[in-house]
Amino acid sequence: MAILRPAEPRDVDDIVRLIIALAEYEKLTHLLRITPEKLQAQLFGPRPAAEAVVAEVDEAGSVRTAGFALFFTNFSTFLCQPGLYLEDLFVLPEYRGHGIGKALLQHLGRLAVERGCGRFEWSVLDWNEPAIRFYEAMGATVMPDWRICRVTGDALARFAH
């Protein structure tokens, strides 16, 4: 079983590698702009934008980062409570099926409860049937009536003016 712990600055390179692996799995590498320096600033700078948890496995005395979850606090006006939003969860393929993804989700669920959150939310790609089945089996509801709206890059610059 994996050991879960809050990410530390020494984990940044491993988390970047996992984010790249996630982008490859989702066929979204063309969207990557991540660097270790950028992630370091966002997780551990003076005003962190997100937090992360890493899952480590010990293989014959060699500890390896097998997965991670990156999350941040959001807010529900209807509940008038903070929420926990899972931006990314990824477990390397060779470690899937060993309970690491479930352990990461449960860990974040406990964090949400401890922090007084009214919700724990995330998005899933509509083609990712294994993930959808996994999340539903854990008790999550895939919201059929909601769609994500996004403005980024040049469109965001135009949107702001």
Q: Annotated catalytic residue: which of 25, 85, 95, 135? A: 135
User: For residue range 71-88, what is the model confidence (pLDDT) as tens digits?
Assistant: 999 999 999 999 999 999
pLDDT(59) > 90 = no
- Provide the CATH number for the domain around residue 155: 3.40.630.30
CB 142 within 8 Å of CB 122: no
pLDDT band at 53; cut points 50, 70, 90: very high
* Runs of H (alpha helix) within 67-161: 100-114, 129-137, 153-159
Select from 136, 25, 30, 22 the least CA-distant residue to 90: 22
Give the dihedral sign, CA 66/87/39/20: positive
pLDDT band at 47; cut points 50, 70, 90: very high
Average pLDDT, the chain: 95
Tell me, what DSSP letter sits at residue 46? S
pLDDT(61) > 90 = no
Predicted pLDDT of residue 102 = 95
Domain of residue 117: give its range: 3-159
Q: Please count the structural domains in the chain.
A: 1
85 is known as an active-site residue = no
